[in-house]
Amino acid sequence: MLVFKLSFCGAVLPFTYGSSFMIEVRRRGLKVAIAGIPKTIDNDIPVIDKSFGFDTAVEEAQRAINAAHVESESIENGIGVVKLMGRYSGFIAMYATLASRDVDCCLIPESPFYLEGKGGLFEFIEKRLKENGHMVIVIAEGAGQDLLTESMQAMDQKDASGNKLLQDVGLWISHKIKDHFARKDKIAINLKYIDPTYMIRAIPSNASDNVNCTLLAQSAVHGVMAGYSGFTVGLVNGRHTYIPFNRITERQNKVVITDRMWARLLSSTNQPSFLSPKDLDEAKKAEQPPSELLEGSNCNDIGEAEKKENNFPHLLHGDNFKDEQQSENHADNSIQTIN
């Protein structure tokens, strides 16, 4: 039995490794099962409800936000900038912002923003400082990469895991804010920048993630013992399921900025969307339609749902969902079985 950790921080790796091993195992006729466990605190794996590590990351991120809030509040025109993880998905920044209630502005990769001019970030910062005398900005590491002057050079470079090297947007935006207000004689700011990346990565998981990790591991073993291979385990609508590798790696899970959750954040922080009508139109066009797997109205009965989803009995919705024990009784055309 081979178990892989699936992480979209190196999006190509899990699919390449898992698929390559499956092909080689099949070629040699070996009785080896391959199972995957979704591991990424960014929560950017599709289909599943959430990946383990995400709850711990959000919980620890709040500590950094609280520190930035205390620091900014204790001095006149104080600004606290916190950079959180999220190369391509801003879930940690969004949920940490909603949980802390002390954030004035949250910037994520999915929502473009601009600095200068009417309705820009600088104008909003100036307005918030006049109103409250301090503010906290949370920015995901992948946000604003298109605004960085060296971004094109960074796109061609990759780290040891095959990920694109991103510029430090936290330092960049901190310098930009300082430079902007340095040109304004009327406002003297005091900015503190906090990067808790390794503090978040290095802490032990919380109780919720500990339980989740245990259940995922047990589910993987149950699936292998049932004869399945080439699958990953994960919670879908609260039920433990077996999902083919190709469904997990076909796209990334991202924050939908036209969705209700992002609207809740904007309401919480009272920040502008920083989006032009053109940006909104592009966001709506890029928004992927809801998966039939998550729509109860599309799952009238087990037979119909299985036909729609290429005989994926483990991905049905609501009362028709098949748990681990029941799914063992179904033949699956996409998940390989071991004879």
In the structure, what pLDDT confidence band is assigned to residue 28 with cuts at 50, 70 and 90? confident
Q: Which of 16-30, 76-90, 157-171, 281-295 has the lowest mean pLDDT?
A: 281-295
Instruction: With a cut of 60, say whether residue 296 has pLDDT above it.
Output: no
Could you list the beta-strand ranges (E) of the chain.
Answer: 2-6, 34-38, 78-84, 105-107, 134-140, 190-194, 228-229, 231-236, 239-244, 336-337
pLDDT in tens, 107-125: 999 999 989 888 899 999 9
Whole-angstrom CA distances from 7 to 50, 66, 248 are: 12, 29, 10
Instruction: With a cut of 60, say whether residue 291 has pLDDT above it.
Output: no
Structure confidence at residue 106 (pLDDT): 96
In the structure, what pLDDT confidence band is assigned to residue 139 with cuts at 50, 70 and 90? very high
Domain 2-52+207-254+309-337 and domain 55-202 have a common topology? yes
User: Is the separation of the CB atoms in 72 and 66 below 8 Å?
Assistant: no
pTM of the full predicted structure?
0.75
If you search the block for the tokens 């992480």, which residue do you land on?
A: 7
Whole-angstrom CA distances from 237 to 207, 233, 234, 296, 327 are: 20, 13, 10, 11, 16
Structure confidence at residue 245 (pLDDT): 84
Q: Which range in 4-8, 43-47, 318-322 is most confidently predicted, on average pLDDT?
A: 43-47
What gap in Å lies between CA 319 and CA 278, rounded to an integer?
A: 41
Taking the domain 2-52+207-254+309-337, which CATH number applies?
3.40.50.450
Structure confidence at residue 159 (pLDDT): 56
Q: Which of 222-231, 261-270, 279-288, 290-299 has the lowest mean pLDDT?
A: 290-299
pLDDT in tens, 271-289: 998 876 566 666 666 655 5
Looking at per-residue pLDDT, the higher value among 78 and 147 belongs to: 78
Taking the domain 55-202, which CATH number applies?
3.40.50.460
Domain ranges of the chain: 2-52+207-254+309-337, 55-202
pLDDT in tens, 202-256: 899 999 999 999 999 999 999 999 988 888 899 999 898 999 888 887 888 999 9
Structure confidence at residue 190 (pLDDT): 93
Question: What percentage of residues in the chain have a pLDDT greater than 90?
Answer: 42
3-state secondary structure of 164: strand
Angle at 197 between CA 195 and CA 200, to 5 degrees: 125
What gap in Å lies between CA 312 and CA 334, rounded to an integer?
A: 8
The first and second tokens of residue 212, run together, are 């989740």
If you search the block for the tokens 């299985």, which residue do you land on?
A: 306
What gap in Å lies between CA 294 and CA 299, rounded to an integer?
A: 9
Helices (H) and strands (E) in the chain, counts: 13, 10
Structure confidence at residue 330 (pLDDT): 43
Structure confidence at residue 335 (pLDDT): 52
Structure confidence at residue 134 (pLDDT): 94
Q: Regarding beta strands 78-84 and 134-140, do their DSSP bridges make them parallel or antiparallel, or are they unpaired?
A: parallel
Question: By C-alpha distance, which of 187, 161, 172, 117 is closest to 139?
Answer: 172
Instruction: With a cut of 90, say whether residue 7 has pLDDT above it.
Output: no
Structure confidence at residue 191 (pLDDT): 95
Structure confidence at residue 328 (pLDDT): 41
Instruction: With a cut of 90, say whether residue 85 has pLDDT above it.
Output: yes
pLDDT in tens, 148-192: 755 445 455 655 555 666 678 999 999 999 999 988 767 889 999
3-state secondary structure of 3: strand
Instruction: With a cut of 50, say whether residue 297 has pLDDT above it.
Output: no
pLDDT, average across residues 197-206 = 90
Question: By C-alpha distance, which of 270, 325, 338 is closest to 102?
Answer: 270
Beta bridge partners of 233: 242
Structure confidence at residue 137 (pLDDT): 97
3-state secondary structure of 262: helix
Instruction: With a cut of 60, say whether residue 126 has pLDDT above it.
Output: yes
Average pLDDT taken over every residue of the chain: 77
What gap in Å lies between CA 97 and CA 62, rounded to an integer?
A: 8
Looking at per-residue pLDDT, the higher value among 18 and 296 belongs to: 18
Instruction: List active site positions.
Output: 42
pLDDT in tens, 49-77: 988 899 999 999 999 999 999 999 999 99
